[in-house]
Chains A and B, each alone.
Chain A
Amino acid sequence: MKKTYIYILFGLMVLAQIAASAQIVYKYERTIASDNVYKFKTAPVDPNNPFMGKYIDLDFEINSFETTDSDWNRYDKAYAYFSKDENGYAVLETLSKELLTDSKFDHVIVETYNYYEGKIRFDLPFQTYYMEESKALGAETLYRDNNRNGKEQDVYAVVHIQNGTHVLTDVIINGISIKDAVVK
C-alpha cells in the first residue's frame, strides 16, 4: 500500500475510533442535561461482567403491560411510554409495537419475553448499574437484610429520558445513593 494511503487510512481510523466513543458520550450527556428525570422502583441483585467489572442487576416493579393483544413474540422490540406521578415515579402509560409519533409521553425501547395471563412481560433497557467492585455485593446484601428485618424500603433507579435515549445515573435506597449507603 502507498504511504499516502496508509497515512489517510490511519487518520480515518483514529477519527472513527474517537468519534465512535465520543458520540455515545455526547448522546448521554445531552440526555442527562435535559434533566427529565424518572424514578423506577427496583430491587438490586449482584452479578458481574468480564470487561466492565462489578454491577448490580436491577429488578424493576414495572415489568409487564396488560393487553388483550396476544400476538407478541419473545425478544420483540417494543416502545414503552411513561408519565410521572406527583412524586416523580414512572408510570407506564402504554406499550406499543410501533413508535407513536403523536404521543406526549417519553418512551424507551424494551425487549418483550412472554405473554401470559393477559400480560406481556418485558425487560427495561437500563437494568445494569455499575459499582465499585467492593460495593456491588454489599448493595444486594443491604437490600436483602432490610427486607428480612421487615424494614419499609424505598429503592428506585434515577433515569434520565429524552427522545428515546435513557441514562441511568443513580440508584437511591431510602433517600441515599446506593454507593454511599453501602459504605455506611
Chain B
Amino acid sequence: MSSKITRALPELVENGIITDEIAQNIKAFYGNSEESSANRLFTLFGILGATLVGLGIILIMAHNWDDFSRGVKLIFAFLPMLIGQAILGFSIFKEKSSAWKEASTVFLFFGVGACIALVSQIYHVSGDLESFLLAWIVLCVPLMFVTKSTSAVILHLIFITYYAFEAGYGHNTTIPHIYFLLLLLALPSYVRMIKAQTKSHVTSVLHWLFPMSLIFSLPVCIDQSEGVGFLMYVLLFGVFYNIGQLPYFKNKSLLQNGYRTLGSLGTVIILLILSFRDIWKHQFQDVYFDSLEFLCAMILFVIASVLLYFNSKQNALKSMNLFHFVFLLFGVIFMIGLFNDLLPTILINALLFILGVSAIKIGAEKFHFGILNYGMLIIAILIACRFFDTDITYVVRGLLFVFIGGGFFTANYLMLKKQKSKK
C-alpha cells in the first residue's frame, strides 16, 4: 500500500495536487514505517528460524545415537544450551538489535529444554513430563527479564499452560498452584509491553494468549465440586469481558482485543450449556462452600466486581451493556439452582435471549455486521438447543428456522440500506 502511494507521488506533484514538501514528508513517513516493518519481519524470521533449529536439534538428539559414548552424548546435550547462552550474552553485552535478542532467547529456551531432556535420556530417567516441564520453565523465567523479549513471554505462557494440563488433568493429579505463580511472573513484562507499544501486533497476541492460558488451565482448580466450575467460568469470562472494556482496549478491534471476544463468546457458550435442564438436575449436587473451587470463584467475583465498578466510573452507564453484568446475574441464578432446577433453566434461557437481542442492538447502533449477526446467531443456537429437550413438531421447528433465516436477511439488508443512505 505504502509503496503504491510513494510511486504515485511524482505524478501528484507534477499535476500540482500536492506540493514538493508534502511529497517529501509522505516519503519520509512511509520510509520509516517500511524500515520498521522490515525490522519486524527480520525479527519474526529470526524467531521462526531459532524455533525450527531448536526443535530440530531436539529431534536429532532424540534419535538417541547408540554409537556415541556417554561423554560424547553429554557434550551434545549441553552444546545447544551453551551456544544459546553465548549468543544471548553477546546480544546483551553488545546491545544488538531486538532481532538478535529475540532469536537467541528462543534458541536458548529450546536449548535448555533439550539439555534437560537429553540428560534424562542418557541416564534412562523415567521422570514424568510434569516435573521436566516445570524445571524447564523455571530455568527460563529470567529470560523474560534479562531481555525485553516478547517471544520469552509467549513461550512462557504456552509452556505453563502445557504444564497446567500435564499436572492438573487426568488421574493422580495435584492442583498445580505454581501455575498461577508462574502466570504472575509473566505480568511485569506484559504490563511493560502494554505501556510501551500499544500498537504492537505482538501485544495483541498476548491479549489472546493470557486469557486463553487461563481458560485452558482453570479446570485444574476444580477438584471435588464440579458445579462450582460453571460459576468459576462465568465469573472468569465476566473478568475478561470487563478487562476488554477498559479504556486501554476502548478503540481496539475485536481481533486486537482477545479479552472482550473471549469473554463474550465464553459467556454465551457456558450459558448455552447451562440452558439444558439436565445440567441443573445433575451437576449441582456437589457444591461445597468450603471448597477450593468456591474460594477461587469468590476471588474471581471480587476481581470482576472491581473491574465492573471501574468501568462504570469510566464510561457512562448508557454505554454499558448486559454482557458487563452477566456474571452478577448468573451469581443469583446459581444460588437459585442449588434449590431448584426449573427456575434457573428458564432464567438462563431468558438471559441468553436478551443477550442475543442486546448484541443485535449493539451491532445495529455501531453499524457492525459482525456483532449484529453474532446476536442473531445466539438466538438461532438457543432455539436449536431447545429442539433437543422440548417436544416441538417438525412443522413448528421448520417455521422457526425459516423465520430466523428471514430475520438474518432482513436485519442485514436493512442495515446495509441504512449505511448506504448515510453515505
A127 to B119, CA, bound (A): 16
Interface size on B, residues (CB 8 A): 40
A20 to B93, CA, bound (A): 24
Q: 1/0 contact trace for A55-91 toward B, CB 8 Å?
A: 1000000000000000000110000000000000000
Known pairs A17-B112, A52-B118; A9 contacts B66 (CB<8 A): no
A141 to B258, CA, bound (A): 51
A52 proximity list for chain B (CB < 8 A): 62, 64, 117-118, 120-121
A28 to B401, CA, bound (A): 68
- B124 and A126 contact, CB distance less than 8 A: yes
- A135 and B66 contact, CB distance less than 8 A: yes
Query: In the complex, how many angstroms separate the beta carbon of A87 from the nearest chain B beta carbon?
Result: 23
B119 proximity list for chain A (CB < 8 A): 21, 24-25
- A21 and B65 contact, CB distance less than 8 A: no
- A167 and B123 contact, CB distance less than 8 A: yes
The stretch among B28-36, B74-82, B339-347 that forms the contact with chain A is: B74-82
- A131 and B64 contact, CB distance less than 8 A: yes
Known pairs A17-B112, A21-B115, A126-B126; A10 contacts B89 (CB<8 A): yes
Most chain B CB neighbours (cut-off 10 Å) among A28, A51, A55: A51
With both beta carbons as reference points, the residue of chain A lying nearest to B123 in the complex is identified as A28
A25 to B78, CA, bound (A): 11
With both beta carbons as reference points, the residue of chain B lying nearest to A12 in the complex is identified as B142
A25 proximity list for chain B (CB < 8 A): 74, 119, 123
Q: Is A100 an interface residue (CB 8 A)?
A: no
With both beta carbons as reference points, the residue of chain B lying nearest to A132 in the complex is identified as B66
A49 to B113, CA, bound (A): 14
Interface size on A, residues (CB 8 A): 38
A131 to B66, CA, bound (A): 7
- A10 and B142 contact, CB distance less than 8 A: yes
A128 to B120, CA, bound (A): 10
Q: Is B135 an interface residue (CB 8 A)?
A: yes
Interface on chain A toward B: helix, strand, loop, or mixed SS? mixed
- A21 and B145 contact, CB distance less than 8 A: no
Interface on chain B toward A: helix, strand, loop, or mixed SS? helix
With both beta carbons as reference points, the residue of chain B lying nearest to A24 in the complex is identified as B119
Query: In the complex, how many angstroms separate the beta carbon of A172 from the nearest chain B beta carbon?
Result: 14
A127 to B126, CA, bound (A): 6
Q: Is B184 an interface residue (CB 8 A)?
A: no
A12 to B139, CA, bound (A): 10
A58 to B218, CA, bound (A): 35
A64 to B406, CA, bound (A): 69
A28 to B120, CA, bound (A): 10
Most chain A CB neighbours (cut-off 10 Å) among B58, B113, B142: B142
- A14 and B85 contact, CB distance less than 8 A: yes
Known pairs A21-B115, A51-B62, A53-B64; A167 contacts B124 (CB<8 A): yes
A38 to B132, CA, bound (A): 27
Q: Is A39 an interface residue (CB 8 A)?
A: no
Q: Is A175 an interface residue (CB 8 A)?
A: no
- A53 and B85 contact, CB distance less than 8 A: no
Q: Is B88 an interface residue (CB 8 A)?
A: yes
Query: In the complex, how many angstroms separate the beta carbon of A139 from the nearest chain B beta carbon?
Result: 12
A128 to B121, CA, bound (A): 9
CB-defined A-B contacts under 8 Å, sample of 5: A7-B92, A14-B89, A17-B85, A25-B123, A52-B121
User: Which residues on B are within 8 Å of A, measured CB to CB?
Assistant: 58, 61-66, 74, 77-78, 81-82, 85, 88-89, 92-93, 112-113, 115-126, 129, 132, 135, 139, 142-143, 145-146, 172
Sorted nearest first, the 6 A-B pairs with minimum C-beta distance are A53-B62, A13-B142, A128-B126, A168-B124, A52-B121, A51-B117
| A-B contact sample (14 more), CB < 8 A, given A13-B139, A130-B122 | A10-B142, A16-B139, A17-B81, A24-B116, A25-B119, A49-B62, A52-B62, A52-B117, A53-B61, A128-B124, A128-B125, A130-B121, A135-B66, A179-B66
